Amino acid sequence: MQFIDEATINVKAGDGGNGAISFRRAKFEPKGGPDGGDGGDGGSVILKCVDNINTLLDFRYKREFEAQRGENGHGSNCHGKNGKNITIEIPIGTEVYFPNNENKIDFIKAGQEITIAKGGNGGFGNTYFKSSINQAPRRANPGQIGESFELHLKLKLLSDVGLIGLPNAGKSTFLSVVTQAKPKIADYPFTTLEPQLGIAMIDDYDFVIADLPGLIEGASKGKGLGDRFLKHAERCGVLLHLVSVNSTDIVRDYKIIRKELKSFNPILAKKFEIIAITKCDTLSNEEITKQKELLEKVAEKSSKILTISSVAKIGLNQVLRELKERVIKFKKNLNDKTQK
């Protein structure tokens, strides 16, 4: 399935039905009073967050959404039928923006829903306007126009852990080994062209890992694919920074990613980071130790540096346990802030 994380759609709530102008016609009642019914209300447009879709792909093919119009009123004081609402399902993690409006609606929980465009009220029939001085009113109200908006949708994946690193650092291989995800894996840069999600489990505790592709130098300014996917890292609780042990300049590789995180959003650079030196089955222990010592000199003080090999399955459980502890701590802090 193609991964689409941005879309623009147009929503239109239904117009209200017109009120009716009608007079009662019955035997032996030559001057029957007004009996025009009110128009029905227009249907509304509702956005609903669901957990069975994880992309905005559907909105690439369908961008216009319009709720049903209210029915016009009828004689005999018959009220027009209300228009049917329309519900648009969006994935968890979707942000909804209105044009020229910095405010956004954030959908982060399954079942969350909001009426985004309200249907117009139905117009009053002429019965409504009957009074002691106007026994036969010949006026009725038209239905009100339903609200309409152009909405911009942005999807930011909700994951506990975000995998970051330069192309070919081993992110896809790591994800495929510790989860059931099946990303494309090949020995060339930019193999992964869209985010991949997987669920890892350690000691009966599971958490979601997202592989965020395309990070290169200049990604935060639009170079490569990174600017498209860096936003997904904003929702991650913990960052797992993968650096290849075979790098000719492991310090430079590490600093490139750190710089891009900070340039895109300073909050990203403040997230807790675990550093995993990958592909450690390809070098001697002495060479691995040397690379690790180089990283220790430049890494964030709070960062923990571990060595792994996804292919040889070395050090993976240790990394997963570290991630588990940090994810639990992150969620606890998040819950404490929510309750305050």
Q: pLDDT tens, position by position, for the chain (340 residues)?
A: 445 678 999 999 999 999 999 988 877 666 678 999 999 999 999 999 998 887 788 898 899 999 999 999 999 999 999 999 999 999 888 889 988 766 789 898 889 999 999 999 999 999 999 988 888 899 999 999 999 999 999 887 767 898 888 888 888 889 889 987 665 554 544 445 567 778 888 998 888 888 876 565 554 454 444 556 666 677 788 999 999 999 999 999 999 888 888 887 888 888 889 999 999 999 999 999 999 999 999 988 888 999 999 999 999 999 999 999 999 988 887 666 655 5
E strands of the chain, at which residues? 6-12, 45-50, 64-66, 86-91, 94-97, 104-107, 113-117, 148-155, 161-164, 196-202, 205-211, 238-244, 272-278, 304-307
Round to whole Å and give the CA distance between 7 and 85.
22
Contact between residue 316 and residue 310 where contact means Cβ atoms under 8 Å apart: yes
Q: What share of the chain is helix, strand, coil (3-state, %, to 5)?
A: 25, 25, 50
Would you give the DSSP letter of residue 224? T
What are phi and psi for residue 23, nearest 5 degrees?
-125, 145
Round to whole Å and give the CA distance between 167 and 183.
14
What class, spelled out in words, does domain 161-339 have in CATH?
alpha beta
pTM for the model: 0.67
- Residue 103: per-residue pLDDT: 76
Round to whole Å and give the CA distance between 97 and 82.
28
The sign one gets for the Cα dihedral 327, 332, 335, 337 is: negative
Which residues are 78's β-sheet partners? 74
Q: Where are the domains of the chain?
A: 1-155, 161-339
Structure tokens given for 326: 């940090």
Structure tokens given for 53: 């879709």
Would you give the DSSP letter of residue 219? G
CA 215 remoteness from chain centre: 21
CATH number 3.10.310.50 given to 1-155: no
Q: Name residue 89's amino acid.
A: E
Give burial (CB, 10 Å; 0-12/13-18/19+) of 188: exposed
Structure tokens given for 210: 């997202």
Contact between residue 160 and residue 209 where contact means Cβ atoms under 8 Å apart: yes
Half-sphere exposure of residue 268: CA atoms within 13 angstroms, side-chain side: 22
